[in-house]
Structure 1
Amino acid sequence: MTQENNELIYIWDAYCGWCYGFSSTLGKLHANHSELPLSVWSGGLFTGDHAQPIGNFPHIASANVRIEEMTGAEFGAAYDQLLEQGDLVMDSEAAAAGFAALRSQAPERSAELASAMQRAFYQDGKSLSDPDTYREIAEQSGLDAEAAVTFMNAPETVTSVRNEFIRVSRLGIQGYPTLLLRKGDSLYQLGGGSTTLAALEERLAGVLG
């Protein structure tokens, strides 16, 4: 079967716990299908009036228990402490700008860099609004750390990120994470969240024929 013009598109948000849980499954799927390009787009979960302190979302703790049960993802002690303190503001626009900065240097490693961001938050309790977080991720990933911070803070990056949010919204995405397959001019939803690797493989095979 030809894979020409086929592409996986992953819609995520850096502050989405289910995205964190799904990242391992996504990595395994892409490893199995390296012939398919993988694009990663930020959706913008906590923006505008929704960019609030983490303590304003009391459901997160119980959701994390379910994420651990369903996906095997583990939340670190530093993150648990951050959750208990409750004052870190989850700002998806800042996180998306940081992701765009990393992605700009290594677009083919977008999923890997997204996972590094979520480990920084969900394991190490680091703010995804802090340029130092991206400086560290860039250094660990063999990227230009100072270029990443400059890109993150550039006014045109904010404009680009907001346009990316609009592009995702126009797709009619109902939640994060969502994994899509673009086949020619058509988009097919493969799953996300607690979707298993086996289920993703079955759906992918069904679409590709």
Structure 2
Amino acid sequence: MKLVHVYDAYCGWSHGFSGTLREVVSRHPELPVEVVSGGLFTGSRRVPIREFGYAQGANARIARLTGAEFGKAYDRLIADGSFVMDSEAAARGTVALRDAAPHRAPELAAALQHAFYVEGLSLSDPATYGTLAERAGLDAEAVVTAFRAPGTRAAAEADFRRAAELGVNAFPTLLAVHGDRVTVLAEGHASADDIDRRLAALDAH
């Protein structure tokens, strides 16, 4: 069995779920975790953040429920409403980091979200990935090159297709995949204890 974490780096609820995922990973080192980008803001949804209107209210609720941090630099980045959340760029960044250290994919996805939601760094900026790679002890130049590579764009599109094939249309969603059996462990918000109970119920069958 493995866990599949379907998230979007520009999704506030995914950011809020980072702490839960970190705890689940630490409790279950025996379970491999695949990280898949869902593609929340693509196509016609790739518009200035002001068109969503609800970001600040939603983030306040996420912070209250999950303890997730939304930093002042992030507030400054989105203050005038012109910032465009491009999930395709964020998915390419996820692929570039994931390929550099596959076994650290959940940790790197969380770092990516921290870069945006706390540090106010754009996930469309190649320099963001250089910074994250350096911090993680990875080859920054290789990660930035990968972010720009055409093959990474194709891999991001493959992530979006995989999310759809898994039936995921809300982020984050944590799945347990065992052969052909796919079980939803969490959608949106859950605690590590909630997920443990669901895993235990799976094991009992």
TM-score, length-scaled by structure 2: 0.97
**Mean Cα displacement is larger for which, 189-198 or 134-143?**
189-198
Partner of 1:106: 101
1:190 match: secondary structure: strand
Question: Does residue 127 of structure 2 align to residue 132 of structure 1?
Answer: yes
2:189 match: secondary structure: coil
Gaps of 5+ in 1: 1-5
Gaps of 5+ in 2: none
**Mean Cα displacement is larger for which, 19-28 or 192-201?**
192-201
**Distance in 2, Cα, partners of 1:105 & 1:202:** 33
Deviation at 1:196, TM superposition (A): 1.4
Partner of 1:37: 32
**Contact map agreement 1:177 1:193 (CA 8 A) in 2:** yes
Aligned residues between the structures? 204
2:197 match: secondary structure: helix
Choose from 98, 114, 122 the match for 2:117.
122
**Contact map agreement 2:170 2:188 (CA 8 A) in 1:** no
**Mean Cα displacement is larger for which, 49-58 or 100-109?**
49-58
1:56-82 CA-to-partner distances (Å, cap 9, x unmatched) read 211111100110111011110011112
Equivalences for residues 135-174 of structure 1 within 5 A: 135-174=130-169
Equivalences for residues 192-207 of structure 1 within 5 A: 192-207=187-202
2:79 match: secondary structure: helix
Partner of 1:3: none
Task: Give 4+ residue runs of structure 1 displaced > 4 Å after superposition.
Answer: none
Partner of 2:87: 92
Identity of aligned residues (%): 50
Partner of 1:63: 58
CA RMSD of aligned residues (A): 0.9
**Contact map agreement 1:55 1:86 (CA 8 A) in 2:** yes
